[in-house]
Amino acid sequence: MRITTYLGLLLGAGFVLLAAWAGGGAAVLFAHRGALLLVLGGTFAAATLASSRRTALHALSAASRLFVRPTLTARQVSEVLVALARQARADGPSSLDPDAAALHDPFLSKGLHLVADGVEPERIEELLRLESEILSERRGQAERLFRLMGMVALLLGAAGTLLALLQLPAGAPGPALAASLAPSAWGLLLAGLLFLPLAAKVRTLDHHEQLVRDQVVTGVLAIRLGQNPDYLHESLAVFAQTRG
């Protein structure tokens, strides 16, 4: 997921630079750094005003997952769960060490803690499903914040252009008129190539993580019930064929 995030940003920036160079508009756009500061600074100010500290942290967490930390794959989760199922079947559920799970995933660790504590399967599923809903809601808050930032960038770009046009004297030359459009251009670029795509990518991330958590719930319940690890492997193979 990180690869497509970086690739999308590089392609977007590259094509913008190429188009600006081919059309001769690069000097007008990039020479007006004040327009960029207006749109970018105003967008972050509006996002700060509209959100809470927790929402901002959720957005940073989602961005970290998209740009820095790798996402778990269905194959990785399946391998760990099957290995844990074999261990539990051989030595008993109490032999599991939740804090030593190979994936170091908090959701998996919580499920293993419940198994090791002998919690009933129905209660385990209830608690894990509730935890999954809470985690998904956090991703939803991050998505809504990025979408808001995209809308604000568009509005501030239009406002900046309007203010620039109002300050132009009558009969202003063409370059001055072109320069007044710089805020709108920056607003469109930031919204169309950064904030709105990030909102869509966070939704994709949420769908993927929901799938992984469903896989973990399936595996944890199988371990608690003492199911055959080979049967569990076949059950988890379905998740590997699904794309979130």
In one-letter notation, the amino acid at residue 234 is E
Alpha helices in 92-195 (DSSP H): 106-116, 121-167, 174-180, 182-190
Query: Would you call 74 exposed, middle or buried from its count of C-beta atoms within 10 A (0-12, 13-18, 19+)?
Result: buried
- Which residue shows structure tokens 């590089």? 10
Note the pLDDT tens digit of each residue in 29-61.
Answer: 565 778 889 999 999 999 999 999 999 999 999
How far is the C-alpha of 119 from the C-alpha of 19, rounded, in Å?
Answer: 61
Note the pLDDT tens digit of each residue in 138-176.
Answer: 999 999 999 999 999 999 999 998 988 888 777 666 667
Backbone conformation region of residue 60, classed left if phi is above 0, alpha if psi is from -120 to 50, else beta:
alpha
How far is the C-alpha of 225 from the C-alpha of 89, rounded, in Å?
Answer: 10
How far is the C-alpha of 189 from the C-alpha of 150, rounded, in Å?
Answer: 10
* Range 15-21 contact pairs with CB under 8 angstroms and sequence separation of 24 or more: 16/189, 16/193
Specify which of 34-43, 101-110, 175-184 reaches the highest per-range mean pLDDT: 34-43
pTM above threshold 0.75: yes
* Region of poorest pLDDT, from 1-5, 6-10, 118-122, 206-210: 1-5
Q: Which two tokens stand for residue 208?
A: 């993927």
